[in-house]
Amino acid sequence: MDIPKIGFGTHQLNSVTCREYLSHAFKCGYQHLDCAHRYMNESVIGENLESILLDSNESVKREDIFITGKLPINGLAEDKVSYFFDKSSSALRTKYLDLYLIHGPFSAKYLSDDEYYAVDKQTGLFAADESVDFRKTWAEMEKLHRRELVKHIGLSNFNKRQMEEVLEKAEIRPKVLQIEVHGYLQQKELREFCRDEKIIVEAFAPIGSPVTAAELGKKVLINDPIINEIATKHKKSASQVALRWLRQMDVIPIVSAVTKEQMAENIRIDDFKLDEDDLKAIDGLDCGMRVYYLDDVKGVRDHPQYPFEK
């Protein structure tokens, strides 16, 4: 199965909403679920997914769904890769994953499965594991692929230098790079690099993660006057314009939603096209505004493999 051109982000699914939202997502036409050990909801997703697949009224088949999982940063040590894969695949109740990504290039010490951002008890700072070489992590990812447990392998939150290091040693090339991309953070250099290397780019926070951005006091892309002007012109919503722009940039958006209306709206982006003027106007919005710095605990930015500008 080719990677479906839009993904549904699952980080907000919980035991109350999961069954209803997953079922609605499939009805709307989503075939691509973006999951991660980090979101701490894989068992809930697996349980509900299994019940949907077994329900003859739903008419959804496993082979029609593309499921992504992510190796957490406390699982980058060589002996942890297959351990965390097994955890995710059994929680998601699937024998194979369609795509398995290394969630980030900076490694945390393994203290327990769910201590993603491990903290050193004495210093109170991020407990990095600097002995990990992510190229060796990649070699373990390749083993999962050779064992046919994952159909594709890829990376998330790696920068260009880190991608080059992986590519230098890789026997199986990364299929995908999942990074934050939206009108305010267009990632032109990294996208160009991926295009030249034939690596598919997936965008998280594709509509600029409005609530998180607002909470952090940052600009909210879907409130931007230019995006809204373009939306009015095409009789579409600001989110649809943000997502359509990614589609026209050959980027796969991974979008989440908290209402069924948003879910349905976000997938309806095939019936209009942004013209040259629209693309030029959106191009001018790029201001390098990152929403996710992945620095949940103090000290992460000091990790030698922290991928972003500090």
Nearer to ligand NAP, 54 or 211 (CB): 211
- List CB contacts of 14: < 8 A, sequence separation 6 or more: 41, 44
Residue located via tokens 């199965």: 1
39, 110, 116, 184: the catalytic one is 39
37 CB burial (10 A radius; 0-12, 13-18, 19+): buried
Nearer to ligand NAP, 27 or 146 (CB): 27
Nearer to ligand NAP, 177 or 277 (CB): 177
**Distance between CA 91 and CA 85 in Å, rounded?**
10
Nearer to ligand NAP, 59 or 184 (CB): 184
**Distance between CA 22 and CA 17 in Å, rounded?**
8
Angle between helices 260-267 and 238-248 (to 10 degrees): 40
Angle between helices 225-234 and 276-283 (to 10 degrees): 160
Least Å from the CB of residue 122 to ligand NAP = 28
Least Å from the CB of residue 45 to ligand NAP = 11
Cβ-closest position to ligand NAP: 9
* Residue spans of alpha helices (H) in 170-303: 188-197, 210-215, 225-234, 238-248, 260-267, 276-283
**Distance between CA 238 and CA 225 in Å, rounded?**
9
Least Å from the CB of residue 179 to ligand NAP = 7
**Distance between CA 68 and CA 18 in Å, rounded?**
17
- Is 184 among the residues known to form the active site? no
Least Å from the CB of residue 56 to ligand NAP = 29
Least Å from the CB of residue 64 to ligand NAP = 20
Which residues make up the interface to ligand NAP (CB under 6 A)? 9-12, 34, 103, 156-157, 178, 204-212, 222, 237, 239, 254-258, 262, 265-266, 292
Nearer to ligand NAP, 128 or 241 (CB): 241
Q: Catalytic residue positions?
A: 39
